[in-house]
Every structure is written in structure tokens, then in C-alpha cells.
Structure 1
Amino acid sequence: MFKIFIILILCVFNVAYATNTEQINLVDTWVGITTLGVFIVGYYVIANEEKYDVDKSLPALFVGIFTFLLIAVYFILNGLDIKLVHEEAENVILEIAEIFFFLFVAMTYIESLIYMGVFDKLKYNLVSKGFTYKKLFWATGFIAFFLSPIADNLTTALILSTVLITIEKQKKEFLVPGAINIVVAANAGGAWSPFGDITTLMVWSSGKGDFLDFIYLFPASIVGYLITAFLLSLVVPNTKPEFDANIPIPKMKEGAKAIIILGILTIVMAVVSHQVLDFPAMWGMMGGLVLLKIYSYKLKKEYGSEHFDIFQSMSKIENNTLMFFFGILAAVGALYFVGWLTLASVIYEPNYLGATYSNIAVGFLSAIVDNVPVMSAILKANPNMDHANWLLVTLTAGIGGSLISFGSAAGVGVMGKLKGIYTFNSHMKYAWMILIGYFVSIAIWYVQFDILKFY
């Protein structure tokens, strides 16, 4: 445990970052110090966006864009080869584009399904069954766990937290553990799918694992989640929520089922694109967007322009989330380029902490900093570790964000939906339950990957 604590402290200042090629070291220059300072200040604002009433995409974009401009100015003033900055910026843009367009298509499909009434139907079906709060707790949790691998953890958390607040608007003894349950389920479910979380998408896109490799994380993901969910369920009341039987039964619009099928086909295309054709996964996703656009044209001809408009779905996409990822990945790229993130690469060496202890600590770091920049740094570092440990860091970075309410995109999203109810303090009251599940997941990984060698 002491080793894990040491690596966590080191990582807070120097996220594990290494490279196989020689890098320019600018950490002792004014641009190196300024880049680190701007990143720290920017991340402070991101972590306190509610306090300052500033959307997290603004400081993220500022840090990402401004730091690269500073580096370019430094190179020009000192007569260095500006082409190096140009090439690094192009590499960053390429990495961001693959994630950006993948998420763009996924969000478009989700917004289309919302518009077609699919999730309204789901909410009604849950509430009208006469389930107790405890049964609703388990139902929303399982839906989140199995929807997240398809829809991504943020989208899943937003959808299911809307379901929660529809069921009950005041009873905190249901809403708080229910919200935590959704966050934990969404993050755990996203860990065993290549596109269930931004971090797993990044690992998959970088070629650290094939599509089927992530499925081997299913036992660790679900057992850890079930342990936490069981502990949380003990504080959920067993009474029934009130239900107005006079509420009209919502109906899905014509074409909704076809869009569901197209969404599944789009996922298949993304997998084939990456695994078989060796294209970026976003290429298959963009192909799926073409199919949705064609179907949108068909619906327009049959039912009129008001029935379904794909551009209306696109307009509802959370662009601030996409901009946040752009900015934060660019900022990590800048830290990498000036050399700050090479300083802690030694901790992955066997004579220090080694891969396993380092990867366990990554989970705690992702809860504090956010798993996206952490995973971006590790992938850029490319530490020398085996396939099992690459899957371990995928697992810990994904589920570790659940330890703190703002440690993951899913948690931040639910805090926004349940303002004043699901807060940092209400989350930390049950954090020990999440921590138990976290270590259970790691124990399952150890038995499966290290002892049984089943992967």
C-alpha cells in the first residue's frame, strides 16, 4: 500500500509518460515552467467549474491551444526547428480526430433515439411495473452496466440519472445511492468494451488490445460492481414510489426500431473497420452516420420533415464535452513535448514500483485528475509492460473514476442532473463501498490474469 501511495504522489506531478524516441527537454526553460503552470491553473478551474460557473471546455481549450502557441513562440525566438512543433501538433490532431468523430457519431445516434421516444418508453416501463425502490435501484444499475459498453459511460449516466429523477424527485435515501450506483455501473460497464469509455477507446485505437481482449475484463468489472451495488442496496428503502396511472403511455415514433438496428450495425462496422481493415474505428462510425442520414431522408419522404431530422439530433450533442476532450488531449500533448511527463517514467521499471503497482495507483489518480489525460499520458509513455497489465490499467483507469464524484465524466454528468442531491459530500459518505468494489475488481484481475493466465 505504501508503494501505491508513493506512485500516486509522483503521478500527481508527473503523470507516467515515456517515449522510445529522444525528446527535447524544455522543463528548465521559461516555456517549460509556464506550460506546467498554465496546465495546473487550468485544471484547477476545470475541477471547480461549478464554483466559478465556467464550463470545463473553456479552460481545457485555453490550456491546450495556448501552451502549444507558447512552445511555437519559444522555438522561433531561439532559432529551433519549428517543424518539430508542427509535426507534434499534427500528431495530436490525428489522435484527437479519431476520438472526436467516434464520439460525434455515437452521440448523434443517442440523441436520435431520445428524439424518437425510445428512452421515454424505457422510463415508463420501469415506473409502471410497480417496482419497489430497491428493485428500481437494481434495474437502473444493470441497465447502466450493459448499456454503457454500447452508448459510452457519460451518455448512459445522463440517460439513467434522468430516469432516476423521473421516478423520485426528493427522497435522498433512494436518489443518492441510486446515483452512485449508476455512476459505478456505467464506469464498470464501460471498462470491458472498446468504446464504453474514452479511455478504453484510446487503448483500443492505439492497438494495445484487440476488440475481444477487452471482454476478458468482464468478470473483474461485473463482480466489483456487484459488490459495491450490494452494499449500496442495503441503505435503499424497500417501499414503492407513487405512480399516476392516468399518465399517457409514451409511444416510440415510426422508424425508432430501425434506428436501433442501424446503431448496432454501426458498432459492427466500427469493429470491422479497426480489426479487419486496419482503419481507425471512427471510419466505420462515420459509415454508420451515412446510413442514418440515408434513413433520415427516407423518413422525411414518408412522414414529412418534422418527423425526424438528423441535423436536429446533431444540434443537441454536448459539444462542450467534445471541446473538453480536444483541449485536454492537446494539453497533455504539450506537457509531453516539453518533457515534463518523462520525469516519472522510471516508476514503471521493475526495480521501482513495476507495472502492476503503478497501474493500481492509476485508478486513484484518475479519480482525482480525470481518467482521460491520465490514460493519454500513459499511452504516449508506452511503458514496457505485458498485455495483462495493459488491460489492468484499462480497468483501473475506468473504474477508478468512480471513487470520487467528479472523477469521471459519468459522475460529473450525474452531478449536473441531480444538483443539490448528488454532491461530493453525499458521494464520499459511501466511498468506502466503492473502494471495496475497486479492490475486488483488482483481485479478480489478479486471479484471472496472473494466476490462471486466462486471457
Structure 2
Amino acid sequence: MRYLFYLLGTVGLLVPGLGYAEDEAVTPAVQQLDLTHHWAGYFSLAVMVVAYIAAMLEDVTELRKSKPMLLASALIWAVIVTVYQQQGQNQLAIAAFRGNLQTYMELLLFIMVSMTYLNAMEDMRIFEAIKFWLVSKHWSYRRLFWITGFMVFFISSVVNGLTAGLLMGAVVVAVGRDSPKFVSLACINIVIATNAGGSFSPLGGISTLFVWQYGILGFLQFFKLFVPCLVNFLVPALAMHFALPKDKPAVETERVVLPRGAKRIIFLFGVTIALAVAFDVKLRLPAAAGMMAGLSLLQFFFFYLHKTSNSRSLRQLEYDLFSGADVSDLDIADARAKKLDVFEKVGRLEWDTLLFFYGAMMGIGGLGYIGYLDAVSHMLYGQLSPTLANILIGLSSAFVDNGTLMFAVITMQPDIPQGQWLLLTLTLGVGGSLLAIGSAPGIGLLGQAKGQYTFSSHMKWLPAVLLGYFAAIGVHFLVNAGSF
């Protein structure tokens, strides 16, 4: 069902004018062709519809969602370039394709490094240690509700929402085995806090990363949304507080010992984020360049751990493979080799989703370049006020991926002040909290806390979440009035 909403939302927001790279050999943009009533336009639209339907039926057909989207994007751009080639303007379309490809590659490299570090920290049991530390405190349900909420609010500003949400979800599921009501309310709180926390930082999600990557907002400007995002989290949390159980959970815990190098990896991740910011702010290079520099630090650190290990070295264990070593030694060698292998962690990324997003971005870029629904852009930021347009787009993020929506709006290139871009960032970020299926953390927790956190249990608190949504907007206009 979610992919049907993807389809309806993205097709309804597609517009021309993608920001392709400048090329002196390219003819002026005024010669861009309107293919909305051309066979190529109808064909491209049909291909995208079929691809989204195929992605929507992934659970039924067992066909990974990336496959139809990759094919669709290839067909769409092949048709576009063919038509432009017939008009002797193929370089114009090729430049547009390259511009979209560059945007995706910068985003991909940034996400790749970030997720590689997160996989490394997971292998070092850092997240597991945080989980057991929280559980071991034996706090009351109400206190744990607030602590997990505030922790995930701040963690999600630097860690992707799904990872942060599942981390705290594991905590509430572990301590709430005897209280399904607590698990349900805590999961709703985690979803709201995660989406709110990811909205005041350029590192918090794909939509904020897009705005930063395009240079629309500077790194520090995002933090103007801190207070509105905090309000968005606090309003529904206060409403749910009084429905929480008052007693304490009885939980048995175990101690987690961090392996050598775990804390230094956390430090290196912080250094990597700092490099990304410095490359963008000081050198005017893409943030992905700083992230790749940080990846090299992780590689060198793994090499250092490998060479200075106090236990039996991997080299000795590998030698044992040819000298009759038992299976346990070989298992240890394999496990330690994976733990210190950056490429193994890169291989564990959710490549199906990343490739699906490539297909979606390139397909949307193609349909936008064709010229579909240009009138929608004029209606949103012409006939309607920018404030109303941004609020409506934010509400639609409960059904449509916010990264896809942000990309569509950026291609519109609306002439709006900084305050409106901040408003759009805010509404798209927190709008996904309105429904359980509105964001990656919500979908992840539906599976993690299956039977306790459900779509209907989230819907019961929709009025409170909606109140937080509009309260955050009101606070934004109040505290950031100078940005309009």
C-alpha cells in the first residue's frame, strides 16, 4: 500500500526544471522540449506506474523493489535521449541525466560511509551496550518512556532514523514484556521523537541532506528548527504520559563488554561528521568528500587493530587452516576477519533500498524533465500561499517518502524565503509521524514490536500527534520570524 502512495504523491508533484550541471557546449535551457503530449511522455509515465505497482507487490511476487525501478529509470531516460537525439539536442538531455546522477552519487556516498560506521559500531556491540545499560537501570515505565524518547531525539540527529528507532525499540520491547500498553505508547513516542530529532539536523535524514547538499540552507541554519522539533516531540508525549503504567518492570540483564577499539570508532565517526561539515563549509566541496576521507580513517584504524591485536593474530589463524586447526579456530578467524573488514560492512548496507531510491530519483527526474504537471508547481507556490503549500506537502509525507517529496519540491525551484524552506524541512520531517507507515522508524517498529505496536494503536493518538504537528509550525513562525 505504501508504494501506491509513493506513486500518487510523486506523480502529483513532478515538475520540469531539474538542476542539471552546467555545460558550455549545451544549448540554452529554453530549447527544452515539452513531451507531456508526446508518445515518449505517455510511455515514460506508463513505465513508472508499472514499476511502482511492481514495487508495491514486492511481498506477493517476492521480486525485490529495486529491479522494476532500475529498469523503469533506464527506459525513461533512453526514450528521452532518443527523442532529443532526433531533434539534434541530445546533449541537453544527457547533461540533465548527468546532473541527476551526480546528485544521487553524492547522496549515496554520504549514506554509504554513515551506514558503514553504524555497522562497525553494531559489530563492536556499542548499540547492544546502550540497550543493556538502559534496561539495567530498572527505571519505572514512565521514566523509561521519557528517557528513551529524549535519547532517540538527539541520537537521530546524527544517526539514521531507522537505526535509532530500532535501538530504542529493542529497549522498550525488552522491558515491556509484561506491559503491552507501555510498549505501544513507547513505540509511538519513539517514532515521533526520531522524526522530530532528524528534522533539525542536516545529518538526520535524506530530506534534510538534500536541502543541505543543494546549498539551500547552511549547516548551522538547520538548528533554527530545534525548538519547533522539540515542541513537536513534547506535545504528544505529554498527552501519552498520563496513559502510561506507573509501576516498574522486572527485567533480568546481562553485562556487555565492549571489544577493543569500540570507543575509538565512536570518536572516528564524530571526526568523520566534522570532516563532512568542514569540506562543505570551508572548502565548498560536497559533504560526501569529507565522509570518504572519514572512511579512510576507519580503514586505517581497522588495519591498526589487526596489526596490534593482543590475542592470536589473524595471520596465525589463517596459517592454521593449512596445518590442521580445528573448526573453532577457523570460526574465530572468520568472525574477526569480518569484524575488521570495512568492505564486509559496506556489503551489508541495504542495497535494495539504495538502488530502489536510485530508480525513483532518476525516474522522477526523467518525468520532471519531460514536463509533467508543471501546473501543480504553479498551483502550490503560485495560487496557494507558500505556507499552506508547505503544510499540505508535510501532511502528505504521512503517505509518501519525505526524501522523494523533498526532491520533487527542489526540482520546482520555488522562489520562497529561508523561513519557508525551514518550514518545508520541518513539515516533511515530522509529518511522517502522523501514521505508523509514514516513516522508516514506524515501519521498522511495526515489525519489531509486532502485535503490541500496530497501525490502529498509532491511529488512536493521531489527534495528539496532529496537535504537535501544528504546534511545531506555530512555534517556528514565532521563534524564526526573522527568516521570513
TM-score relative to the length of structure 1: 0.90
CA distance in structure 2 between the aligned counterparts of 1:199 and 1:417, rounded to whole angstroms: 25
Task: State the match for 1:345 in structure 2.
Answer: 377
Task: State the match for 1:164 in structure 2.
Answer: 172
> What SS does the aligned partner of 1:367 have?
coil
Shift of 1:399: 0.8
**2:164 partner letter:** T
Task: State the match for 2:324 in structure 1.
Answer: none
Q: Which whole-Å deviations, capped at 9, do the CAs of 1:170-217 have from their partners, x for residues lacking one?
A: 743122222221111111101110110100000001011111100000
Task: State the match for 1:6 in structure 2.
Answer: none
Distance 1:436 1:123, change over 3 A: same
CA distance in structure 1 between the aligned counterparts of 2:454 and 2:60, rounded to whole angstroms: 13
Shift of 1:427: 2.2
**1:239 partner letter:** D
Q: Are 2:223 and 1:219 aligned?
A: no
CA distance in structure 2 between the aligned counterparts of 1:64 and 1:376, rounded to whole angstroms: 16
Equivalent pair of 2:15/2:369 in contact (CA under 8 Å): no
Q: Are 2:15 and 1:17 aligned?
A: yes
Task: State the match for 1:253 in structure 2.
Answer: 259
Q: How does 1:188-203 map to 2 (within 5 A)?
A: 188-203=196-211
Equivalent pair of 2:198/2:205 in contact (CA under 8 Å): yes
Greater CA deviation, 353-362 or 14-23?
14-23
Distance 1:436 1:16, change over 3 A: farther
Shift of 1:18: 5.2
CA distance in structure 2 between the aligned counterparts of 1:278 and 1:83, rounded to whole angstroms: 27
Task: State the match for 1:66 in structure 2.
Answer: 75
Equivalent pair of 1:144/1:160 in contact (CA under 8 Å): yes
Q: How does 1:376-391 map to 2 (within 5 A)?
A: 376-391=407-422
Shift of 1:425: 2.7
TM-score relative to the length of structure 2: 0.85
Shift of 1:381: 1.1
Given the alignment, which residue of 395, 401, 424 partners 2:426? 395
Shift of 1:49: 4.6
Shift of 1:50: 4.5
Q: Are 2:362 and 1:356 aligned?
A: no
> What SS does the aligned partner of 1:238 have?
coil
**1:201 partner letter:** L
Q: Are 2:41 and 1:32 aligned?
A: yes
Given the alignment, which residue of 327, 333, 343 partners 1:311? 343
Distance 1:40 1:343, change over 3 A: farther
Equivalent pair of 2:40/2:79 in contact (CA under 8 Å): yes
CA distance in structure 1 between the aligned counterparts of 2:57 and 2:483, rounded to whole angstroms: 42
Equivalent pair of 1:228/1:436 in contact (CA under 8 Å): yes
**1:221 partner letter:** C
Q: Which whole-Å deviations, capped at 9, do the CAs of 1:259-306 have from their partners, x for residues lacking one?
A: 111000101000000111000001000100000000000011122441
Task: State the match for 2:326 in structure 1.
Answer: none
Given the alignment, which residue of 366, 371, 377 partners 1:334? 366
Task: State the match for 2:319 in structure 1.
Answer: none
**1:140 partner letter:** T
Equivalent pair of 1:113/1:119 in contact (CA under 8 Å): yes
Greater CA deviation, 29-38 or 279-288?
29-38
Equivalent pair of 1:18/1:382 in contact (CA under 8 Å): no
Shift of 1:169: 4.5
**1:207 partner letter:** G
CA distance in structure 2 between the aligned counterparts of 1:87 and 1:433, rounded to whole angstroms: 47
Task: State the match for 2:280 in structure 1.
Answer: 274
Q: Which whole-Å deviations, capped at 9, do the CAs of 1:122-145 have from their partners, x for residues lacking one?
A: 111111111122222212211111
Q: Are 2:300 and 1:294 aligned?
A: yes
Distance 1:72 1:413, change over 3 A: farther
Q: How does 1:85-124 map to 2 (within 5 A)?
A: 85-124=93-132
> What SS does the aligned partner of 2:128 have?
helix
Q: How does 1:143-162 map to 2 (within 5 A)?
A: 143-162=151-170
Q: Are 2:264 and 1:242 aligned?
A: no
Greater CA deviation, 163-172 or 356-365?
163-172
> What SS does the aligned partner of 2:246 have?
coil
CA distance in structure 1 between the aligned counterparts of 2:257 and 2:144, rounded to whole angstroms: 21
**1:391 partner letter:** L
Distance 1:131 1:436, change over 3 A: same
Task: State the match for 1:440 in structure 2.
Answer: 471
How well do the aligned residues superpose, as a CA RMSD in angstroms?
Answer: 2.3
CA distance in structure 2 between the aligned counterparts of 1:312 and 1:116, rounded to whole angstroms: 14
CA distance in structure 2 between the aligned counterparts of 1:141 and 1:53, rounded to whole angstroms: 35
**2:364 partner letter:** V
Greater CA deviation, 186-195 or 14-23?
14-23
Task: State the match for 2:332 in structure 1.
Answer: none
Equivalent pair of 1:223/1:441 in contact (CA under 8 Å): yes
Q: Are 2:423 and 1:406 aligned?
A: no
Equivalent pair of 2:58/2:65 in contact (CA under 8 Å): yes
Equivalent pair of 2:15/2:408 in contact (CA under 8 Å): yes
Count the aligned residue pairs: 440
Task: State the match for 1:4 in structure 2.
Answer: none
Task: State the match for 1:7 in structure 2.
Answer: none
Larger radius of gyration, structure 1 or 2?
2
Uncovered stretches (5+) of structure 2, i.e. residues with no partner: 1-7, 19-28, 315-335
Given the alignment, which residue of 207, 230, 233 partners 2:241? 233
Percent identity (aligned): 35
Equivalent pair of 1:348/1:383 in contact (CA under 8 Å): no
CA distance in structure 2 between the aligned counterparts of 1:368 and 1:35, rounded to whole angstroms: 23
Task: State the match for 1:130 in structure 2.
Answer: 138
CA distance in structure 2 between the aligned counterparts of 1:55 and 1:411, rounded to whole angstroms: 21
Equivalent pair of 2:417/2:483 in contact (CA under 8 Å): no
Q: How does 1:174-189 map to 2 (within 5 A)?
A: 174-189=182-197
Shift of 1:358: 0.6
